[in-house]
């Protein structure tokens, strides 16, 4: 079951990765699982939320900009990014935003 990321009190940062997949699937699911596991073990990682139905949106939450930069340049993540550009995505965009306020509703 999907769940919302349990983020701390702001401020923190969100990396919003929006993508359109290509027709290639060749190892995508395995790599996505590996990247999630790897990201979860990075210093400064706070959580992630993801959805895909045609357009894919993954939002990862980070403690600070240094943690985001470290993740972007992690050697295994760099390799996955290269494969994404070469075969898994027809287009993508990454946005980084500072979360200054959040609020929730839960039942």
Tens of pLDDT, residue by residue over 79-107, are: 999 999 999 999 999 999 999 999 999 88
Is residue 107 domain-resident? Answer: no
Q: pLDDT above 90 covers what percent of the chain?
A: 90
Residue numbers of the domain that contains 23: 12-99
pTM of the predicted protein model: 0.92
7 lies in a domain? no
Instruction: Report yes or no on 77 lying in a domain.
Output: yes
Under 8 Å between Cβ of 5 and 75: no
Q: How many CB atoms lie within 10 A of CB 31?
A: 16
CA distance 68 to 97: 11
For residue 10, which phi and psi values (nearest 5 degrees)? -65, 160
CATH of the domain at 93: 3.30.70.100
**Where does the pLDDT of residue 35 fall: very low under 50, low under 70, confident under 90, or very high at 90 and above?**
very high
- Total domains, the chain: 1
């Amino acid at each position: 079951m999907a769940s919302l990321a349990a983020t701390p009190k702001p401020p923190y940062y969100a990396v919003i990765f929006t993508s359109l997949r290509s027709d290639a699937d060749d190892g995508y699911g395995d790599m996505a699982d590996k990247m999630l596991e790897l990201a979860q073990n990075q210093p400064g990682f706070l959580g992630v939320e993801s959805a895909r139905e045609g357009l894919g949106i993954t939002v990862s939450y980070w403690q600070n900009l240094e943690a985001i930069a470290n993740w972007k340049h992690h050697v295994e993540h760099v390799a996955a990014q290269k494969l994404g550009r070469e075969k898994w995505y027809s287009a993508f965009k990454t946005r980084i935003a500072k979360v200054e306020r959040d609020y929730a509703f839960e039942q």
